């Protein structure tokens, strides 16, 4: 059942399932909490209370906001954690990976561990040579086109590249759901607003994180020419010993939707480690 939390600037929609220690799931831009539909049952079965959040402007959250930055999203996520009586493990995908970094650095008492899935958490730069990598070129052109033109068909085309090879069993329904949401008033503007933000605010906070961090990257993620190098750089910018990088072979930008079983297994192993329990 959808619940709504009023925060400064609008309302954030979320849904809570299960009981036990709290895990908060935050999706990427142009999406909704539906992105985690395949991992929530397994996390609940493992004994967690799982709150899946619609980011500002997305899903069932309100659409009119003055700020689309990772810092603003981090504030929303912290508000949800407080409201649900945290602390929590915070899981963020793509733009929300950066937001989770900021939330953990700002409120260490509220965030016990962070899981970043294909995160944009560092300053990005594109070089001419990067365009020689076919999957990166295809993804980037569709991503830029969707953002600049506000095109839902181009976003669907990007998703086809972002899910290389393996598609979820409900792939057509997944695309139709994303398509339908983005055609609602204000939803595409939210995608465009997030797309115009830079992850420099998240990168500046990596050194201030005090909890353990798991970064999960797909080997075929089209958003980077070298996903392993990006993940390693995030780990390198964290305080020594806090970060752990895991690669999922064949995954693109949505490892949690392509390979939910592997992602849940990595999360549970991480959360059961001595570092995370501490």
What are the pLDDT digits (tens) for 146-173?
A: 999 999 999 999 999 999 998 999 999 9
Bridge-based pairing state of the strands 10-17 and 3-7:
antiparallel
Reference 231, options 242, 220, 250, 218; nearest CA is 218
Sign of CA dihedral 130, 135, 138, 139: negative
d(CA 30, CA 159): 10
| Predicted local confidence at residue 139, as pLDDT | 86
Domains and CATH numbers, the chain: 3-277 (3.40.50.1820)
Q: Where are the alpha helices (DSSP H) in the chain?
A: 40-45, 70-83, 95-106, 134-149, 152-162, 171-182, 187-195, 200-203, 227-237, 255-258, 260-271, 274-277
Instruction: Return d(Cα 272, Cα 278) in angstroms, integer.
Output: 10
Mapping DSSP to helix (H, G, I), strand (E, B) and coil, where does residue 25 land?
A: strand
Residue with tokens 């309100």: 62
Condensed to tens digits (0 to 9), the pLDDT of residues 197-222 reads 999 999 999 999 999 999 999 999 99
Helix (H, G, I), strand (E, B) or coil at 131: helix
Task: Please give the C-alpha separations between residue 123 and each of 128, 198, 233, 234, in angstroms, as whole numbers.
Answer: 17, 7, 11, 10
Residues 6+ apart with CB under 8 A from 26: 53, 55, 73, 77, 90, 91, 92, 93, 96, 99, 100
Distance between start and end Cα atoms, the chain: 33
Q: What is the pLDDT of residue 278?
A: 54
Determine the pLDDT at residue 255. Answer: 98
Q: Which residues pair with 114 in a beta bridge?
A: 90, 213
Q: Please identify every stretch of the chain with a pLDDT value under 50, giving residue numbers as ranges.
A: none
Report whether 61 contacts 32 (CB < 8 A). no
95 SS3 class: helix
């Amino acid at each position: 059942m959808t619940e709504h939390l009023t925060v400064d600037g609008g309302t954030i929609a979320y849904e809570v399932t299960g009981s036990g220690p709290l895990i908060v799931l935050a999706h990427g831009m142009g999406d909704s909490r539906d992105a985690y539909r395949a991992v929530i049952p397994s996390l609940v079965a493992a004994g967690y209370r799982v709150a899946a959040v619609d980011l500002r402007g997305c899903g069932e959250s309100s659409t009119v906001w003055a700020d689309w930055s990772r810092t603003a999203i981090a504030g929303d996520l912290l508000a949800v954690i407080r409201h649900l009586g945290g602390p929590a493990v915070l899981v963020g995908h793509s733009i929300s990976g950066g937001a989770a970094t900021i939330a953990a650095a700002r409120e260490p008492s509220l965030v016990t561990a962070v899981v970043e899935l294909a995160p944009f958490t560092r300053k990005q730069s594109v070089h001419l040579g990067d365009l020689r990598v076919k999957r990166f070129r295809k993804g980037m052109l569709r991503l830029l086109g969707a953002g600049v033109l506000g095109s839902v068909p181009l976003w669907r085309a990007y998703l086809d590249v972002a899910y290389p090879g393996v598609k979820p069993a409900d792939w057509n329904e997944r695309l139709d759901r994303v398509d339908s949401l983005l055609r609602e008033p204000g939803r595409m503007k939210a995608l465009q607003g997030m797309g115009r933000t830079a992850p420099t605010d998240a990168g500046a906070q990596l050194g201030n994180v005090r909890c353990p961090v798991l970064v999960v990257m797909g080997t075929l993620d089209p958003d980077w020419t070298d996903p392993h190098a990006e993940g390693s750089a995030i780990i390198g910018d964290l305080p020594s010993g806090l970060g752990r990088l895991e690669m999922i072979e064949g995954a693109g930008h949505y490892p949690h939707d392509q390979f939910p079983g592997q992602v849940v297994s990595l999360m549970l192993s991480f959360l059961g480690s001595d570092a995370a329990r501490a």
